[in-house]
Amino acid sequence: MNVLIVVTHLLGTGHLARALTLGRAFAAAGHRVTLASGGMPVSLLDHAGLTFLQLPPIRSDGTNFTRLLDDDGQEVAEATFAARQTALIAALTPAPDILITELFPFGRRVLSAEFLGLLEAAIALPRPPVILASIRDILAPPSKPSKAIRADDIIARFYDAVLVHSDPDATRLEQSWPVSDMLQARLKYTGYVAPAAARPHPTQLGKGEILVSVGGGAVGTALFETAIKAAHLMPNRVWRLLVGGRDATVRIKALEWLNPPKGTIIEPVRPEFRQMLYHVAASVSMCGYNTALDLMQAGTPAVLVPFDDGAEVEQTLRAQSLAQMPGISVLRSAEMTPRALCDAVERVMIAGPRADTGLGFDGAGQSVILAQEMVHEMALARR
């Protein structure tokens, strides 16, 4: 079957990473997968085995998701939006059997015209595809009821199902989004979409260290700066800071000017990050979806500092949910001081690694099974 997955990451890289994991699962099942990415290019993420379509890239202006910028930092021109729409419509040839939109219509409302144009063209095909929305465990709650009603209207018109990439025993969609009867009937929980659990690093890279990370985006400066100050208060521990973003080199130089204690390591994000989590004494990080799954799979003692700039609440809700597990401490950014960070790190180190949570992490594989079943059901209905 032909599968088309459409995703636009605007700030971090988590949305794209999750969509790629989903795409690789479809490819592993023998399907032909095209992934159309509308965010900024990300060199570290693997898209082997997929047809990767890079749309003219855009990003948000920091946490202002209503103002979109192009690769040069200028406000996106109408010609760029037109080129993106043309490329998306062209991606419907050959016609997909399955069309998946990541986050929309629960988010990316600023790109509604783009997504709706694609959906209209898809249902106009001689044999329309099964159309699915792909969403993470926690959504940004709608700021007003009309946004949830609008999402419901779009789901009812275009979508066959909504894939919720969560284990309902841990987090249900109702915790962050109003679920109507119509929407409830279309929800399909898949389990978490995560790559297969990493194996411990062969040389135990990072053993005994405090590992500080903020994902692949250009955020988290305050957390890094606080971590450097906290490292002075724990001189017997090596602190390693993994810095992401396209400007990682510049950010690293700025952090090195803050006089980190001897032995502190400040470097770009590492592909071995997931393997290192098995060996570090503790992780200090934000609480994006992918990072949270990495920590749960590895059982790493963890201090979570959820990203809460602007009106962001997604990571805070996720962190609060995970805080019920042993060896996890939540430190809000407003309360983050060097001393508070050290205290939190020491608490989770005392608690130690967690045992297997028993939660489902094969959301990608389950998504493939569910999608295949719906294609089969649609084919039977057409006979």
State pTM to two decimals.
0.87
Could you report the per-residue pLDDT of 98-157, keeping only the tens digit for each? 999 999 999 999 999 999 999 999 999 999 999 999 999 999 999 899 999 999 999 999
Number of domains in the chain: 2
**pLDDT at residue number 218:** 60
Residues 320 and 376 both lie in one domain: no
| Beta strand residue intervals within 38-79, DSSP E | 51-54, 59-61, 64-69
Tokens of 234: 């724990």
Could you report the per-residue pLDDT of 153-194, keeping only the tens digit for each? 999 999 999 999 999 988 899 999 999 999 999 999 999 999
Residues in the chain: 383
Does a structural domain hold residue 265?
yes
Does a structural domain hold residue 370?
yes
Residues 374 and 346 both lie in one domain: no
For residues 253-273, average pLDDT: 95
Q: Residue 90 burial by CB count (10 A; 0-12/13-18/19+): exposed, middle or buried?
A: exposed
In this structure, how many other beta carbons lie within 10 angstroms of the beta carbon of residue 33? Answer: 26
pLDDT at 64 exceeding the cut of 80: yes
Task: Find, among 34, 54, 33, the residue nearest to 43 by Cα.
Answer: 54
Does a structural domain hold residue 203?
no
pLDDT at 357 exceeding the cut of 80: no
pLDDT at 219 exceeding the cut of 80: no
318: confidence class by pLDDT, cuts 50, 70, 90: very high
The SS3 assignment for 278 reads coil
Residues 267 and 321 both lie in one domain: yes
Does a structural domain hold residue 356?
no
Residues 68 and 124 both lie in one domain: yes
Task: Find, among 341, 305, 332, the residue nearest to 232 by Cα.
Answer: 341
Does a structural domain hold residue 43?
yes
Rounded distance, CA 310 to CA 219, Å?
13
Residues 52 and 148 both lie in one domain: yes
Instruction: Give the range of the structural domain holding residue 230, as residue numbers without chain letter.
Output: 210-351
Could you report the per-residue pLDDT of 273-314, keeping only the tens digit for each? 999 999 999 999 999 999 999 999 999 999 999 988 877 889
3: confidence class by pLDDT, cuts 50, 70, 90: very high
Residues 317 and 343 both lie in one domain: yes
